[in-house]
Amino acid sequence: MAANQRVIDTYKIESTGVMFTVDVVEDSSEFVKIYRLSAFSISPATKIVLDKIREEFIVNVEVAGASGFDVEKLGGISESIRKGFEREIGGILRKYFPSIDKKTYDTLLNYLLQQNIGFGDLEPMLKDSGLEEIVINNASEPVWVYHRKHGWLKTNVTLPKESRIRHYSTVIGRDVGKDITLLQPLMDAHLKTGDRVNATLSPISTKGNTITIRKFAEKPWTIVDFLNQNTMSIEVAATIWLAVENEMSVIITGGTGSGKTSALNVVMSFFPPNQRIISIEDTREVQLPSFMHWVPLETRLPNPEGKGEVSMLDLVVNSLRMRPDRIVVGEIRRKQEALVLFEAMQTGHSVYATLHANNAEETISRLTNEPIDVPKAVLPTLGLILVQTRNRRTGTRKTLQVAEILPSGDAHVVYQYDAQKDQMKKISEFDVFYKKIGLYTGLTKAQIEADIKNKIEILRKLQKIEGLDLHSIGYVFAHYYITKGFKASDVPAIVEQARRGG
């Protein structure tokens, strides 16, 4: 490694039988860190031989009759064609490496198949649970990734030519019934894996063809992740838990990439297990433990003839006929769906949703002006506003504000993030939040504050336990509701019970 480079993180990924190493590298000659991907068991010398095998494979296929074979021209690979290519590549591989064992043979074969008729070095990136986004800007620049831990990284991977990017877009679209052509140069696709893909073709994107893949989070963010990474303060977390426990509706706002959906997933982990939850999203991103009473719904775009669309409004209206206790909406965008949601709040349903707005005051403005434009008089049915933000310089995400809604419909900020000190501060006292809880529970302010302290201790105990997943954390909260509460000292035993299968 060059003297001006330093590895700050390293881990391994397995993709189609090949082990890859990822090194995150700081380079003093670069403005951003480098995501360096390499095949773990394949040396540079072996890769040179593999390139020769690829060239011979292409020649053999052309001679056999697949004239002009080019991976970019193949509109998707059927299983029979794949098996034929596998036999052809395997035969050439044995010629160059006659004495290799089966494990090495399988590794090299899988690598060649991945590079020649798969998605190449994009495939291990798609398997990397640490990545949120994979971005191809054109064939002249390296692929970029957005890492959960390190933010934007430049990779050591480039695509050989623009036709390869277009080929990948075509194959992705074909798998989900979408077309991308010069007449239709834009494509937005939701894959069966949950990943979201956007593609554009040149000359619409003037520097070349592009693909943007937003990966579905295999391991969703949890409240423990938020606390351990100082995304949310423990006092705010306990307050949100109290609101959810008492069936108060919460809207989560923030800018693009601020962690709204991650925060929504955290809020959902506080749901009790004996209530019916309906979630409505354009692309399924929220996740809940398997023991929850949960029905996830997804919108559907119209087909090329303009038929078959199922809109967010359709699903919001339909959800009210499904006897929900809690309604979760991926994003509020329009007036009609917002009005239905606020009507649901007024009729006793708890609603949890996200909205694009940068602070609490802007949230009220967005809700009460076009295109949403709901009457300000209905806003007090909302319990809390939770505002998320992202520092675009460092890539870190934080809870910016927690606000209650006053009877006037205005936002009253109680918790505010201090960026200079990197800590959440309580800048005022709740005015109506405690009153609402007291009205329906009979608890005094002192009792509510004691309950929050107990919740804080439980969350602190959870923070100290390593290896917690969504199921284990959800099990603790479910146990809390079923047993009518417990002390922090009970948490380790409950987690162990969850890990043994509950």
Asked if pLDDT for residue 417 goes beyond 90, the answer is yes
pLDDT, residue 7, reads 94
Residue the block writes with tokens 């417990």: 486
Worst-scoring range by mean pLDDT, 148-157, 214-223, 285-294?
Answer: 214-223
- Is residue 455 within 8 A of residue 238, CB to CB? The reply is yes
**Which of 414-418, 424-428, 465-469 is the least confident region?**
465-469
| Distance between CA atoms of residues 333 and 281, nearest Å | 12
Q: What is the tens place of the pLDDT at every residue in 19-33? A: 889 999 999 888 899
Cα–Cα distance between 359 and 401 in angstroms, integer? Answer: 7
Concatenate the DSSP letters of all residues of 212-233 into one string.
Answer: EEE---SS---HHHHHHTTSS-
Structural domains in the chain, CATH included, are: 5-214 (3.30.450.380), 223-440 (3.40.50.300)
Residue 59 has pLDDT above 60, yes or no: yes
Greater confidence, 163 or 394? 163
Q: At what angle do helices 44-63 and 102-117 cross, to 10 degrees?
A: 60
- Mapping DSSP to helix (H, G, I), strand (E, B) and coil, where does residue 12 land? strand
Residue 7: strand pairing partners: 25
Residues facing residue 19 across a β-bridge? 14
Average pLDDT, whole number, for the chain?
88
Q: Provide, rounded to the nearest whole percent, the portion of the chain with pLDDT above 70.
A: 93
Q: Which of 219, 222, 148 is nearest to 396 (CA)?
A: 148
pLDDT at residue 454, as a whole number: 95
Confidence label for 38 from pLDDT (cuts 50, 70 and 90): confident
**pLDDT at residue 502 is higher than 70:** no
Beta strands in 246-306 (DSSP E): 250-254, 276-281, 293-298
pLDDT for position 41: 65
pTM of the model as a whole: 0.80
Q: Has residue 67 got a pLDDT over 50?
A: no
Q: Which residue has the higher pLDDT, 102 or 428?
A: 428
Which of 213-222, 226-235, 241-250 shows the lowest per-residue confidence on average (mean pLDDT)?
213-222
Residues 6+ apart with CB under 8 A from 286: 220, 261, 264, 265, 268, 279, 296, 328, 330
Confidence band, pLDDT 50/70/90 cuts, at residue 228: very high
Between 87 and 387, the higher pLDDT residue = 387
Q: Is residue 355 within 8 Å of residue 251, measured between CB atoms? A: yes
Q: What is the pLDDT of residue 68?
A: 37
pLDDT above 70 for 395: yes
| 127-152: average pLDDT | 93
HSE of 164 in the Cβ direction (CA atoms, 13 Å)? 17
Give tens-digit pLDDT for 307-346: 899 999 999 999 999 999 999 999 999 999 999 999 999 9
Give backbone dihedrals phi and psi of 262, rounded to 5 degrees, phi first: -60, -40
- 72 confidence band (pLDDT: 50, 70, 90): very low
- The reported pLDDT for the residue numbered 78 is 53
For residue 102, give the H/E element and its range: helix 102-117
Q: How far apart are CA 241 and CA 222, in angstroms?
A: 13
Q: Which residue has the tokens 């959902």?
A: 268
